[in-house]
C-alpha cells in the first residue's frame, strides 16, 4: 500500500491510477485469506515499505529480507542482506522459504574523510554512481565503510543503501553498530529483554573482519563531494551543483531533458519541486528541508510537494511543526506513499515540466509524460524551489 | 514455461545504454493485477507518438516492417535497469521476444528473464554493433552457448548453469526447489534454534 495509494488528504481506496482501486482491494482480500498482516491504506503504520519496515523493527541485522521492489536494498543499512526481486521470485520465496541464486561478488566502497556542510548521503551515492556508472556495481554486493559512513545516522545510511540498485548492485549494506542497535531497541517486531541480549551478542559478530578481502575496492574522498544534481536520464548523469552538462554528452538524454552541452546546472529554471520517496522521505530529510524553508516561500509559479515516507513520519513531523513550515512556504503537505516519484496514470505535473526531486530515478517519463526530472538531495530541492531554479543549498544556509 | 533450444531471427537493434524497465513498460500501462495484456504497452514511450496513445512512431525499431515480428533484441549496457517490475519481461515475452543480446543486464531483470523463457545473452559491445550493422539473422544456440551468423562468425556467451538448465528444459523453479524440502526444513529448524528473534513470534518478552 505505497505505490498505488492516493496521497491527498482524506484518501480511501480510490486512486487516480487506472486499476489502482482493484489492486488495493484484491491485495487486501488476498492478504486476509492468507493470514498475512497488511499495513493498509488507513492503518496508522501505513507507509512506503522501505520506511515502515525499519520503523517497526521488521528488518534486523543478519536477516535476509526480500521484496518485489528494487529499492529493498535500502534496508541493508541495518546489516541485513536485503534486495529486490521480481514477482516470480517472490512467489518462489513464499512457496519454499528460499530463493535460488548465484553468490554475488563483493565490493567495498570506502568513503574517507568527512563531507562538508550541506553535503548529504544522497550526494555521496550519486557521486559513486556518476563516477563508476549505473552498471558499476553489477554482480556485486556492496559494503559501504569509512569514517563518513560511521558518522551517518540510520536514516542517512538508508538513503545511501537505497540507491545501490541505481548502481546495479545486488545490494548495499553497512555493518551494524551501536547506532543500529539503538534504533531497533523497543520497536514492535524487534527482539526485547533477554532475547535482545542474545541477539545483540550475535549482531556484534556481523561486521567484516579487519583483514577481509573484497573482489573489488573503491575509495571516494567524501570531503571533496559537492551537493549533486542530475542533468540527464540516468542517475549516472549527475554532477556537482557547481558543474555543468558534459561538453560531449550522449544525444538522447540532453534532447529529452532540454539542456545544452556545457550548460551550467545552477540557474536552470524549474516548474516543480518534490520532497519524499523511499530515498529521502524520512523525518531527518523533512527536518533538513524545513530548516531551509522556514520563513521563506517557493518562487512564483513553482508547484511544490512534501510527501512523508510513512504516516509515522508525518505524525512526527507535525508534532515538530514541520507541516506548517512546508505549507507556509507554499508546499502541499501530503499523506504518505510513493506519490509522484513515479507515474502510473495518476497524478503528475503538466507535460514538459522540469521537476527537481528528492527521488531516485530521472528516467524518461518516470514522473510523467515528457517530465524532466533532476534528482538531488532534499536540501537542494528546497533551495531550488525557493529560487525557482536549480540552486546550491549551501548558499541559502549561510 | 516454454523451453528454449535454438532460435534464428533477425535481431532488432535498440543500442542505447541503461534502457530501464519504466521505458520497457511504463507503470501507466500496467493496468491489471495479472501477467497478460501487456504487449501493447511494450516500449510505449518510444513506440507510440503520444503518451497513452497507440499511433505508431515509424522511427521506432519495432515499428519498422522488417522488425515487426522481432524475437531477438540487441540492447546496450545495463539493459533492464531500474524498477524490479516483472511486467517488463512479461510484456517482452507476450510480444514474442525470446532473447535479448546486450553487453550487460541489470540483475533483477536478468533473473526475471530466465523465469519467463527469455534468454539474456551477454556479448561485448563491438560484437553487438557488428551484428546490428550486418542486418542479418543470427542463430542463438543455448545448449552450445553460441550466437552465430550463417557462413560467418560464431560468438560464445556465458550463462549460469542453472539459468541455462531452466531455460533449456522450461523447468519450474519452485518444483526444482521443493526437491530439497527436507534440507530446507532442517535448516530452518536449526536457524530457529540459534536465532529465534529472526522468526515472528519469537522475539521475547
Phi-psi region of A259 (alpha: psi -120 to 50; beta: other; left: phi over 0): beta
| Same domain flag for A247 and A179 | no
| Same domain flag for A27 and A59 | no
Q: Note whether A81 contacts B: Cβ–Cβ < 8 A.
A: no
Residue A216 has pLDDT above 80, yes or no: yes
Nearest by CB to A342, from B27, B104, B205: name it.
B27
Hey, what's the cell of B45? 514511450
| Same domain flag for A159 and A169 | yes
Closest approach of B91 to chain A, Cα-based (Å): 14
Spatial strand order of the sheet with A372-375 comes to: A331-333, A303-306, A272-275, A354-357, A372-375
Q: How many CB atoms lie within 10 A of CB B64?
A: 13
Tell me the three state secondary structure of residue A95.
helix
| H-state helical runs in chain A | 20-34, 49-55, 87-96, 121-132, 147-150, 154-162, 178-184, 193-203, 251-257, 277-280, 283-293, 311-319, 322-328, 378-387, 393-397
User: What is residue B194's predicted lDDT score, i.e. its pLDDT?
Assistant: 96
Task: Write phi, then psi, for B148 (nearest 5 degrees).
Answer: -135, 160
More confident residue, A386 or A396: A386
Hey, what's the cell of A394? 549551501
Does the pTM surpass 0.80? The reply is: yes
Measured in whole angstroms, the distance separating CA A62 from the mean position of its chain's CA atoms is 22
Q: Note whether A36 contacts B: Cβ–Cβ < 8 A.
A: no
User: What is residue A134's predicted lDDT score, i.e. its pLDDT?
Assistant: 97
Question: Cβ contact (<8 Å) for B162 and A102?
Answer: yes
d(CA A133, CA A136): 5
Question: Cβ contact (<8 Å) for B205 and A196?
Answer: no
Domain boundary among A225, A247, A279: A225
pLDDT band at B52 (very low <50, low <70, confident <90, very high): confident
| Same domain flag for A207 and A68 | yes
Cα nearest neighbour of B200 on chain A = A189
Strand partners, A172: A142
| Same domain flag for A382 and A306 | yes
Strand partners, A220: A111
Q: Where are the domains of chain B?
A: 6-171, 172-205
- Quote the CATH superfamily of domain B6-171: Aconitase, domain 4 (3.20.19.10)
Tell me the three state secondary structure of residue A76.
helix
SS (H, E, C) A377-398: CHHHHHHHHHHCECCCHHHHHC
- Domain encompassing residue A254: 227-397
Q: Which of A88, A141, A279 to mutate to probe the B interface, most B CBs <10 Å? A: A88
SS (H, E, C) A123-162: HHHHHHHHHHCCCCCCCEEEEEECHHHHCCCHHHHHHHHH
Is ipTM strictly over 0.85? yes
Domain boundary among A200, A225, A250: A225
Nearest by CB to B162, from A100, A193, A361: name it.
A100
Query: Could you say which residues from 241 to 270 on chain A have a Cβ atom under 8 Å away from some Cβ of chain B?
Result: 250, 252
- Determine which helix (DSSP H) or strand (DSSP E) holds A272, and give its type and residue range: strand A272-275
Residue B42 has pLDDT above 70, yes or no: yes
Hey, what's the cell of A216? 573489488
- The answer to whether the beta carbons of residues A226 and A241 sit under 8 Å apart is yes
Question: Cβ contact (<8 Å) for A345 and B28?
Answer: yes
Nearest by CB to A369, from B51, B77, B184: name it.
B51
Pairing of strands B138-141, B6-9: antiparallel
Contacts of A26 in chain B (CB under 8 A): 33
Residue B118 has pLDDT above 70, yes or no: yes
Which of A291, A295, A330, A326 is closest to A308 using CA atoms?
A326
Q: Note whether A363 contacts B: Cβ–Cβ < 8 A.
A: yes
Mean pLDDT, chain A, whole residue set: 96
| Same domain flag for A221 and A231 | no
d(CA A202, CA A154): 20
User: What is residue A344's predicted lDDT score, i.e. its pLDDT?
Assistant: 85
pLDDT band at B32 (very low <50, low <70, confident <90, very high): confident
Q: Which of B43, B48, B84, B199 to mutate to probe the A interface, most A CBs <10 Å? A: B84
Which of A364, A116, A201, A19 is closest to B26 using CA atoms?
A364
How many folded domains does chain A comprise? 3
Domain boundary among A207, A225, A243: A225
| pLDDT tens-digit readout, A304-362 | 999 999 999 999 999 999 999 999 999 999 999 999 999 988 899 999 999 999 999 99
Nearest by CB to B27, from A86, A170, A344: name it.
A344
Enumerate residues 6+ apart whose C-beta is below 8 A from B49. B55, B56, B57
For chain A, report the end-to-end CA distance as a whole number of angstroms: 40
Q: Which of A70, A80, A251 to mutate to probe the B interface, most B CBs <10 Å? A: A70
Considering only CA atoms, give the Rg of chain A.
20
| Same domain flag for A4 and A114 | no
Which of A184, A153, A171 is closest to A71 using CA atoms?
A171
Q: Note whether A365 contacts B: Cβ–Cβ < 8 A.
A: yes
| Same domain flag for A122 and A169 | yes
Q: Note whether A68 contacts B: Cβ–Cβ < 8 A.
A: yes
Pairing of strands B146-148, B138-141: antiparallel
Contacts of A85 in chain B (CB under 8 A): 84, 108, 111
| pLDDT tens-digit readout, A246-274 | 999 999 999 999 999 999 999 999 999 99
Q: Note whether A84 contacts B: Cβ–Cβ < 8 A.
A: yes
Task: Give the Å distances, CA to CA, from B193 to A313, B189, B202.
Answer: 35, 6, 10
User: What is residue B14's predicted lDDT score, i.e. its pLDDT?
Assistant: 97
Residue A50 has pLDDT above 90, yes or no: yes
CATH of the domain at A207: 3.30.499.10
Residue A398 has pLDDT above 70, yes or no: no
| Same domain flag for A22 and A68 | no
Residue B48 is given by DSSP the state B
Contacts of B53 in chain A (CB under 8 A): none
Residue A397 has pLDDT above 80, yes or no: no
User: What is residue B31's predicted lDDT score, i.e. its pLDDT?
Assistant: 76
Amino acid at each position: 500500500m505505497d505505490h498505488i495509494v492516493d496521497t491527498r488528504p482524506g484518501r480511501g481506496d480510490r486512486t487516480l491510477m487506472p486499476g489502482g482501486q482493484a489492486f488495493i482491494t484484491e491485495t487486501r482480500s488476498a492478504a486476509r485469506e492468507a493470514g498475512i498482516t497488511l499495513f493498509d491504506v488507513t492503518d496508522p503504520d501505513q507507509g512506503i515499505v522501505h520506511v515502515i519496515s525499519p520503523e517497526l523493527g521488521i528488518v534486523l541485522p543478519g536477516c535476509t529480507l526480500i521484496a518485489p521492489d528494487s529499492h529493498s536494498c535500502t534496508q541493508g543499512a541495518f546489516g541485513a542482506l536485503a534486495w529486490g526481486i521480481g514477482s516470480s521470485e517472490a512467489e518462489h520465496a513464499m512457496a519454499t522459504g528460499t530463493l535460488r541464486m548465484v553468490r554475488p561478488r563483493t565490493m567495498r566502497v570506502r568513503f574517507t574523510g568527512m563531507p562538508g556542510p550541506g553535503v548529504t548521503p544522497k550526494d555521496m551515492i550519486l557521486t559513486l554512481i556518476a563516477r563508476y556508472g549505473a552498471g558499476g556495481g553489477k554482480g556485486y554486493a556492496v559494503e559501504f565503510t569509512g569514517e563518513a559512513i560511521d558518522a551517518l545516522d540510520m536514516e542517512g545510511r538508508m538513503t545511501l543503501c537505497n540507491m545501490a540498485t541505481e548502481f546495479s548492485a545486488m545490494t548495499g549494506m553497512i555493518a551494524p553498530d551501536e547506532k543500529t542497535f539503538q534504533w531497533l531497541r523497543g520497536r514492535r517486531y524487534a527482539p526485547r529483554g533477554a532475547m535482545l541480549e542474545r541477539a545483540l551478542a550475535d549482531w556484534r559478530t556481523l561486521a567484516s573482519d579487519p583483514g577481509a578481502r573484497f573482489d573489488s575496492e573503491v575509495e571516494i574522498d567524501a570531503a571533496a563531494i559537492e551537493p549533486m544534481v542530475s542533468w540527464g536520464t540516468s542517475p549516472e548523469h549527475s554532477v556537482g551543483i557547481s558543474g555543468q552538462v558534459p561538453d560531449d554528452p550522449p544525444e538522447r538524454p540532453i534532447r529529452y531533458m532540454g539542456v545544452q552541452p556545457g550548460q551550467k546546472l545552477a540557474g536552470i529554471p524549474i516548474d516543480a519541486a518534490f520532497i519524499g520517496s523511499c530515498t529521502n522521505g524520512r523525518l531527518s530529510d523533512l527536518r533538513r528541508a524545513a530548516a531551509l524553508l522556514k520563513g521563506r516561500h517557493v518562487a512564483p509559479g513553482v508547484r511544490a510537494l512534501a510527501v512523508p515516507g510513512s504516516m509515522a513520519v508525518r505524525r512526527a513531523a507535525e508534532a515538530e511543526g514541520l507541516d506548517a513550515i512546508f505549507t507556509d512556504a507554499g508546499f502541499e503537505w501530503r499523506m504518505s506513499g510513493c506519490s509522484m516519484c513515479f507515474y502510473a496514470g495518476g497524478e503528475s505535473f503538466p507535460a514538459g515540466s522540469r521537476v527537481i526531486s528528492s527521488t531516485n530515478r530521472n528516467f524518461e517519463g518516470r514522473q510523467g509524460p515528457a517530465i524532466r526530472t533532476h534528482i538531488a538531495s532534499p536540501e537542494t530541492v528546497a533551495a531550488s524551489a525557493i529560487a525557482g531554479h536549480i540552486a546550491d543549498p549551501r548558499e541559502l544556509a549561510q | 514455461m516454454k523451453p528454449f533450444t535454438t532460435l534464428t531471427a533477425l535481431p532488432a537493434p535498440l543500442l542505447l545504454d541503461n534502457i530501464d524497465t519504466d521505458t520497457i513498460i511504463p507503470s501507466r500501462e500496467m493496468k491489471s493485477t495479472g501477467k497478460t495484456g501487456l504487449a501493447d504497452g511494450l516500449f510505449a514511450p518510444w513506440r507510440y507518438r503520444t503518451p497513452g496513445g497507440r499511433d505508431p512512431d515509424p522511427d521506432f525499431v519495432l515499428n519498422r516492417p522488417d522488425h515487426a515480428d522481432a524475437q531477438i533484441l540487441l540492447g546496450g549496457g545495463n539493459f533492464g535497469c531500474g524498477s524490479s517490475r516483472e511486467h517488463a519481461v512479461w510484456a517482452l515475452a507476450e510480444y514474442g521476444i525470446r532473447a535479448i543480446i546486450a553487453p550487460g543486464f541489470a540483475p533483477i531483470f536478468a533473473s526475471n528473464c530466465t523465469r519467463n523463457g527469455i534468454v539474456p545473452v551477454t556479448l561485448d559491445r563491438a560484437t553487438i554493433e557488428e551484428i546490428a550493422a550486418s542486418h542479418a539473422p543470427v542463430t542463438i544456440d543455448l545448449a552450445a552457448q553460441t550466437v552465430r551468423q550463417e557462413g560467418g562468425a560464431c560468438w560464445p556467451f556465458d550463462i549460469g548453469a542453472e539459468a541455462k538448465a531452466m531455460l533449456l528444459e522450461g523447468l519450474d523453479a519452485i518444483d526444482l526447489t521443493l526437491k530439497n524440502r527436507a534440507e530446507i526444513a532442517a535448516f530452518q529448524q536449526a536457524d530457529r534454534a540459534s536465532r529465534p528473534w529472526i522468526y515472528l513470534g519469537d522475539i521475547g518478552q
